[in-house]
Structure 1
Amino acid sequence: MLSTLKVTGRILATVSVIALATAGMPTAAFAQEAPAAVQPDIAEGVSAVVNDDIISSYDLVQRMKLLILTTGFQPTQENLPQLQAEAQRQLIDERLKKQELRRVEKENKTTILATDPEIDEVIAEQVQGQFKVTPDQFYAQLAQQGVGRDTYREQIRIEYSWEGYMRGRYGSRLRIGQDQIKAVQKRLSDAASKPQYQVSEIFIDNARVGGPDIAFNGAQSLIAQMQQGAPFPQVARQFSAAPTAASGGDAGWVSPGEMPPEVDAVLDSVRPGQLSAPIATQDGVYIIFVREKRAGGTTSLVTLKQAAVTVDASADQAAVDAASASLEKLRALKPTCADLETKAGQIPDIVAGDMGEMEVSGLTGGFAEAAANTPDNQLSATPIRTDVGVHLVMVCGKRNAGGNLPTPEQIERRLQSQALDLIGKRVLRDLRMQATIENR
Structure 2
Amino acid sequence: MRRISSRLSLVLFAALSCATALFPAHAANPRSVEVDHIAAVVNNEVITARELRERVEQAIHQLNRQGTPQPPADVLERQLLERLVLERAQLQLARETSLQVDEATLERAIARIAESNRLTIAQLQAALEKDGVSWSRFRDNIRTEILLTRLREREVDNRIVVTDAEVDNFLANNADALSGEEFELAHILIRVPEAATQQQMAGLVARAETAKQRLNSGDDFARVAASYSDAPDAMNGGALGWRSRDRLPPLFAEAVRELSPGSVSPVLRSSAGLHIVKLLDRRGGAAAGPQQLEQTRARHILIRTSEILNDSEAESRLLGLRERVVNGASFAELAKAHSADLSSAKGGDLGWLSPGDTVPEFERTMNALKPGEVSAPVRSPFGWHLIQVEARRLQDVSDERKRNAARNALRERKADEAFEDWLRQLRDRTYVEYRTGKE
Higher normalized helix content (fraction of residues): 2
**Higher Cα Rg, which structure:** 1
